[in-house]
Structure 1
């Protein structure tokens, strides 16, 4: 029996993927079958399709790294999950389909009170942002924090979560619409880097300097943001959505005692990781942080969704609604 899925037959642009029918995969030991309701689009999905990611996925494959749905079959009942559980999960690929078979270790239950839609939006981006803020940047209440790419998935999540931690957030983005979203999610200062000289704007906003910078963008924005740090500040690099890896003058690190740190899930100490996950779950469950969904697309329009993310058009998260509902893009 076949399932509807988006298939990448050859690596290339977002437009190289197409909808088709593929065989339903059999279960292996330690896996579960999930009926997917929503999938989320992330920038690494664009890179995997283009074969520009650090791990190459052989074609043909189903792209998509993040989903939310319901368990319909499980290989080992009693291993912590059961048929009917609402779950969210991540993997390198496979999410842009009506169902996915994935190891149960890659799943987590969706908290009561959190909708399937918001669970899909909150997964990778909000976990990345929270762990970066809490364990890498070590943001504390009252800290001034600069967030680059503040309108995108990880960036807008970082704005909302930094504000929830009591930080004073400077949101840096490329359009008034993205900055409006950042304001709604708690940013105190708004900087459109296309309208001003970023180094000057950050100096004007933060006369004593920033405690931390969260950078999921890279490119030409990184150095002026780094210069905005006060002595001993932390610069956390999360990714390079601009497509350009910046070159940082190391004399700034020496003179100001700055720490430049990279984020990886595996680098977080297990006890801190568990604490962060518990705290983030509480923020989402209590409604203190609500993920921003900028657009929804049906499965048939995954190429358009990937293109929007590739071109930096999205505000917050873009979701794929797998039941085939009509597109409701809210992209500015």
Structure 2
């Protein structure tokens, strides 16, 4: 089978040929149809992601496909079922081995591309906004990086959950993508008056930040008393430092958030969230935005799209 692998850290991944693996106890083998790319894949290549496997390993965190074989003692599944799974790695290949307790059976109304595109991005935003920030209808949500893979889902889910959504992104084209996802207000991330314009719109109850850098500093200074700041990531490479005295003055909560971490200590939060999201997708209430679909032999080009920020929403690799 083919697998897009990191053979050494900080070296370009390679499309390799390897043996089809056999599932062990508690595992299933999936014939993979679709795999979603994530910024974390780029970090794994450099060995800078918190859950980077030891090389050699196959990239690809979120997949959808068909169960091909079951390991010993696996119950509740059978070959031929359409499923999705967040495996953390192993998705950019013809076949993958995954823990059965992470596998979710897909509703018939959801295709493989949608299932692969939905898990990390929508899962991150749903658990962050609902469980972590406990966002309420009528509150103001500021989304930084609003046209990115996770940012766009925060805009869409924020709108669906009844918030007033302020989208912050670079350039008119990306802002229009955010508008189509339900943003009420659009602000350019490079605007030197970003802080003042956020305050003019009433300030933020919740800030969703996957970017860091200057947009973070502007949004942080425009937060309302008892605002909640979700630290999702720092795609800009500029990890923001938070002045504690500002937290005291406004009674602001800073909430560190890593969606994948819940699979280790409270996995039911993730599985319950995915059940909600798959139901919403089956009913047409959410629809992942996929800007690019590429074959497996162009996976490197897909990663380049993320690296250069040339994509909006998700990049899907069709196996």
Structure 1's unaligned 5+ residue stretches are: 323-332
CA deviations over 1:198-222 (Å, ceiling 9, x no partner): 2122122x22x21101111122221
Match of 2:299 in 1: 302
CA spacing shift, 1:90–1:275, aligned 2, 3 Å: closer
Structure 2's unaligned 5+ residue stretches are: none
Residue 35 (structure 2) pairs with residue 8 (structure 1): no
Q: For the residues of structure 1 that align with 2:47 and 2:28, how far apart are their CA atoms? A: 27
Match of 2:42 in 1: 46
Counterpart mapping for 1:1-332 below 5 A: 3-12=1-10, 16-76=12-72, 79-204=75-200, 206-207=201-202, 209-265=203-259, 266=261, 276-322=273-319
Contact 2:26 2:73 in 1 (8 A): no
Match of 1:327 in 2: none
CA spacing shift, 1:106–1:277, aligned 2, 3 Å: closer
Q: What TM-score does the superposition give when structure 2 sets the normalisation length?
A: 0.94
Q: For the residues of structure 1 that align with 2:176 and 2:289, how far apart are their CA atoms? A: 12
Report how far residue 78 of structure 1 moved: 5.8
CA spacing shift, 1:271–1:121, aligned 2, 3 Å: closer
Report how far residue 175 of structure 1 moved: 2.1
Contact 1:34 1:72 in 2 (8 A): yes
Contact 1:134 1:276 in 2 (8 A): no
**Secondary structure in 2 aligned to 1:133?**
helix
Q: For the residues of structure 2 that align with 1:274 and 1:32, how far apart are their CA atoms? A: 17
Q: What TM-score does the superposition give when structure 1 sets the normalisation length?
A: 0.90
**Secondary structure in 1 aligned to 2:48?**
coil
Across the aligned residues of Structure 1 and Structure 2, the Cα RMSD in angstroms comes to: 1.8
Report how far residue 39 of structure 1 moved: 0.4
CA spacing shift, 1:131–1:104, aligned 2, 3 Å: same
Q: For the residues of structure 1 that align with 2:235 and 2:21, how far apart are their CA atoms? A: 33
Contact 2:26 2:72 in 1 (8 A): yes
